Amino acid sequence: MGKDYFYTIKKRSEGFYKEKGSKFIGIAIPVISEEDIKTSLLEIKTQYYDARHHCYAWVLGNNGSSYRANDDGEPNHSAGDPILGQIRSSDLTNLLVVVVRYFGGTKLGVSGLINAYRTAAAEAIKNGKVVKEKITFTALLSFDYGSTNAVMRFVNSFEFTVLEQVFELNCKLTAAFSINEKERFLDEIKELSMRELSLQYQIKDDNSTP
The H-assigned helical ranges of the chain are 34-47, 80-89, 109-126, 148-155, 182-195
51 and 113 both lie in a single domain: yes
Integer CA distances (angstroms), 188 to 151, 157, 160, 165, 195, in order = 11, 11, 15, 21, 11
14 and 104 both lie in a single domain: yes
Task: Please report whether residue 15 resides in a domain.
Answer: yes
91 and 11 both lie in a single domain: yes
| pLDDT score recorded for residue 62 | 84
Task: Please report whether residue 86 resides in a domain.
Answer: yes
- CA atoms of 53 and 50, how far apart (whole Å): 9
35 and 111 both lie in a single domain: yes
| pLDDT score recorded for residue 105 | 86
| pLDDT score recorded for residue 208 | 47
143 and 50 both lie in a single domain: no
Closest by Cα among 118, 129, 127, 53 to 86: 118
Mark which of 117, 132, 147 sits at the end of a domain.
132
Task: Please report whether residue 192 resides in a domain.
Answer: yes
- CA atoms of 193 and 204, how far apart (whole Å): 18
Range of the domain at 181: 135-205
31 and 77 both lie in a single domain: yes
175 and 190 both lie in a single domain: yes
When divided into structural domains, the chain yields a total of 2
Answer for the pair 202, 189: CB distance below 8 angstroms, yes or no: no
Query: HSE (CB half, 13 Å, CA atoms) of 129?
Result: 5
Answer for the pair 77, 126: CB distance below 8 angstroms, yes or no: no
Task: Please report whether residue 210 resides in a domain.
Answer: no
Q: Parallel, antiparallel, or unpaired for β 160-166 and 170-178?
A: antiparallel
Can you give the pLDDT of all 210 residues of the chain as single tens digits? 567 889 999 999 999 999 999 999 999 999 989 999 999 999 999 999 999 999 999 999 888 889 999 999 999 999 999 999 999 999 999 999 999 999 988 899 999 999 999 999 999 999 999 999 989 999 999 999 999 999 999 999 999 999 999 999 999 999 999 999 999 999 999 999 999 999 999 998 765 444
9 and 81 both lie in a single domain: yes
Residue 16: how many other CB atoms lie within 10 Å: 13
Which CATH number belongs to the domain containing residue 200 in this structure? 3.30.70.240
Q: Which helix (H) or strand (E) holds 58?
A: strand 53-60
- Helix and strand numbers (H, E) in the chain are 5, 11
Task: Please report whether residue 171 resides in a domain.
Answer: yes
127 and 176 both lie in a single domain: no
For the chain, how far is it from start to end, CA to CA, in angstroms?
19
Mark which of 132, 153, 171 sits at the end of a domain.
132
Task: Please report whether residue 140 resides in a domain.
Answer: yes
* Predicted TM-score (pTM) of this structure: 0.79
| pLDDT score recorded for residue 207 | 56
12 and 82 both lie in a single domain: yes
Closest by Cα among 96, 131, 92, 103 to 26: 96
150 and 119 both lie in a single domain: no
DSSP 176: E
Q: Which helix (H) or strand (E) holds 111?
A: helix 109-126
Which CATH number belongs to the domain containing residue 119 in this structure? 3.30.230.30
What is the three-class DSSP state of 203?
strand
126 and 152 both lie in a single domain: no
Q: What share of the chain is helix, strand, coil (3-state, %, to 5)?
A: 35, 35, 30
